[in-house]
Amino acid sequence: MDISVLGHGAYGRVYKAWSNKDQKNFAVKIVGNSKKSEREVKALARLQHHNIVKYFCCWEEDNKYEQESSESSDSSTSSSTNFLYIQMELCEGGTLRDWIEAKNSTPCPARRQEARNIIEQITDGLAFIHSKKLVHRDLKPENIFFEEQKIKIKIGDFGLVKNIALNTDESPPEGHESFGTPTYMSPEQKSGGLYGKKADIFALGLIFFELLWTLQTQMEKYTIWTDLRDQMFPEHFNVQFPPECKLIKMMLCKKTKKRPGAAGLLTEIKKLY
Ligand code: ATP
Ligand code: MG
């Protein structure tokens, strides 16, 4: 059987695996069997959308994939007695982080148009997630994938997905778990208060900016990021990208009510040139 590691994150490891039965490759994510992984699977099963990584099935096993036995395991799974194998669509076009890095190293005249197409697709997927009363909570370029032809975008990694109560758009953080990735975290998520769909919109605003603007160094990213979180943009950003700047500014509002919803945002993005 042809199996290779695609990547690994905080909780699991993802493999590319060939299925003889289907005569095609899949991505299989192996995570410790826990409430968190159950939540990920339940969410994926509800989310059938062309901009979301497609889920096929899952099964439990007592062991991690055997190649791993000689490797060090991370602390979150080492205490688990069994593992959940999540079979998903394989996205072979890399992550959005790879796209950003490629554009930052080689100037691309079509970047603006491509950025708009990408953000439209992410917003489409996100509007669907929100319509199902779910919040992704860890939107970042590393969790957004391209399928093989690099045209279609797929939101992935639902490891932090959360169901929001029916009557409210916000829910409190849980226990002492630390959620999300600090760089893309909304202010309300960072401060440990109530947060919901609008936290995903904040992360999306930062991603939109990153798709358009070249950040050469980590230091530059740090400085600009700090300003961005206060709705302050680099000097020429507004001049070069006026309509995008207006949208991103709204997405980064500190007040959640002032941030647009995903469905409304999608309409606005479609109006962009
Ligand atoms: P969690 O946030 O639950 O800890 P994780 O970060 O460990 O999740 P993922 O983000 O789902 O796990 O996957 C880790 C890496 O595996 C990704 O960055 C990517 O490189 C690769 N990967 C994940 N899913 C796919 C997929 N469907 N197709 C191709 N590569 C994938
Ligand atoms: Mg991830």
Question: Which residue type does 160 have?
Answer: L
Q: Residue for token digits 């790879």?
A: 98
Tokens of 129: 């997630």
pLDDT of residue 54 exceeding 90, the answer is: yes
DSSP character at residue 52:
B
Distance in Å, CA 73 to ligand 1 centroid = 16
Name the closest-CA residue to atom 11, ligand 1: 157
Helices (H), the chain: 35-46, 75-78, 96-105, 111-131, 187-190, 197-212, 218-228, 237-240, 242-251, 262-271
Which percentage of the chain shows pLDDT scores above 90? 70
Distance (Å, whole) CA 156 – CA 140: 10
pLDDT tier for residue 203 given thresholds of 50, 70 and 90 = very high
pLDDT tier for residue 9 given thresholds of 50, 70 and 90 = confident
Across the range 42-47, mean pLDDT stands at: 94
* Shortest-distance ligand to the CA of residue 14: 1
Protein residues whose CB sits closer than 6 Å to any atom of ligand 1: 6-12, 14, 27, 29, 53, 88-91, 95, 138, 142-143, 145, 156-157, 159
The yes-or-no answer on residue 230 being catalytic is no
Tokens of 164: 């929001």
List domains and CATH numbers for the chain.
2-88 (3.30.200.20), 96-270 (1.10.510.10)
DSSP character at residue 261:
P
Across the range 17-23, mean pLDDT stands at: 93
Distance in Å, CA 163 to ligand 1 centroid = 21
pLDDT, tens digit, 9 for 90 and up, residues 210-256: 999 999 888 999 999 999 999 999 999 999 999 999 999 999 999 99
pLDDT tier for residue 166 given thresholds of 50, 70 and 90 = very low
pLDDT tier for residue 64 given thresholds of 50, 70 and 90 = confident
pLDDT of residue 175: 43
Tokens of 175: 């226990």
Distance in Å, CA 199 to ligand 2 centroid = 17
Name the closest-CA residue to atom 2, ligand 1: 159
Separation of CA 167 from chain center: 25
Active-site option among 138, 169, 200, 230:
138
Distance (Å, whole) CA 108 – CA 88: 32
- Selected residue with higher pLDDT from 196 and 76: 196
pLDDT of residue 3: 84
Across the range 42-61, mean pLDDT stands at: 95
- Selected residue with higher pLDDT from 73 and 87: 87
Ligand 1: atom nearest CA of 154 is: 27
Q: What is the mean pLDDT of the chain?
A: 89
